[in-house]
Each structure stands twice: as C-alpha cells, then as structure tokens.
Amino acid sequence: MTPQLGRPTPDDEPGFAEKLGYLFEHSRDENGAPYTGKKIAERANDLGYSLSDAYISQLRTGKARTPSFRTVEAIARAFEVSVTYFLANPDEDLERVRQQRDYVEMLATTGTHLSGIDVRSICPDTIDVVIALLKMVKAQAVETQRTPPGEDSGQSPA
C-alpha cells in the first residue's frame, strides 16, 4: 500500500504508549502542572470510570498494550481530548464505520443480510457493489409491488 503524501506509514505511527506519553508530557492541569498518572486516574474515576494509577503506568510503559475502549475513553475524557486521538489509523476506522453504516442501511432497505460471510475477508469495493446491487434489486421489487397486475410499468419485458 502506498502511503499518502504527508501521512506516515503504519510502522511510523506512534502506538498507544507513545500517544499517552505525549499527553503526559504536553498537557497541564488547571494549575499549569504536568499531569501525573494518579491525577488522571482520579479525574477518570470522578467521571464515573474505574481506572488505577498502576494500570495507567503499565499503559505508559507499554507493559499493557490493549486497553479496552472504556479505558481509552476514560483516559481521553480525563485529558479532555477526543477518543479518536488514540486511533492508530483514523482513515481506516472511518472507512470501516462507513461500510458498517452502508451494511445496516442495506439490511433496512433490502431485508437481506450477508449471514455466514466473513465480510472482513471481502474487498471493500466488492462489498460496496453487493450493497448497491441489493438496493437496486429491492427498489425493483418495490416498484413491481406498486404496479397492479396487467398494468404497464413503462418497462419493456425482459
């Protein structure tokens, strides 16, 4: 895959620990002091999350590598940044969300689902074509249902 101009390749992108470390280095509390793990844990807990200073330390050092979404959300809210700050590749994640939205729309439009198919193994362009095709089939079925038997729908017979 060719990297976009000005966009780092996936290997160059900082990991969670690096992004968290950057926040600790550059963010300041209301008194202008750098945040500590204890202060971030307290802020997160005050916001209704359950987070310990020890776990934050593990995340900072990379000893813990896969925080739950809830943990990421807690840390982001404590630092008052968007959760998307921690995304490794926001463009890829946005594309996945777009496809999921289109898939849900297809379900609603066609009443069809791709059960038994691992859609992650299908090329995104192919998924888009399948969704468009199913929408077209559904639209034709709806049009056929609206046209009473014996009336000309304006289409020539196939």
* pTM for the full predicted model: 0.51
Distance CA 104, CA 153 (A): 30
* Domains held by the chain: number: 2
Residue 107 or 74, more confident: 74
Domain-embedded: residue 8 = no
Distance CA 7, CA 143 (A): 46
Cα separation, 61 vs 20, whole angstroms:
10
Judgement on whether residues 20 and 36 belong to the same structural domain of the protein: yes
65 pLDDT band, cuts 50/70/90, is confident
Query: Is residue 7 situated within a structural domain?
Result: no
Do residues 135 and 80 both lie within one domain? Answer: no
Q: What is the pLDDT of residues 124-157, one digit of tens each?
A: 677 777 777 777 877 787 787 777 666 655 555 5
Greatest mean pLDDT among 10-14, 44-48, 60-64 lies in 44-48
Residue 96 lies in a domain: yes
Do residue 19 and residue 80 come from a single domain? Answer: yes
For residue 135, what are the domain limits?
90-146
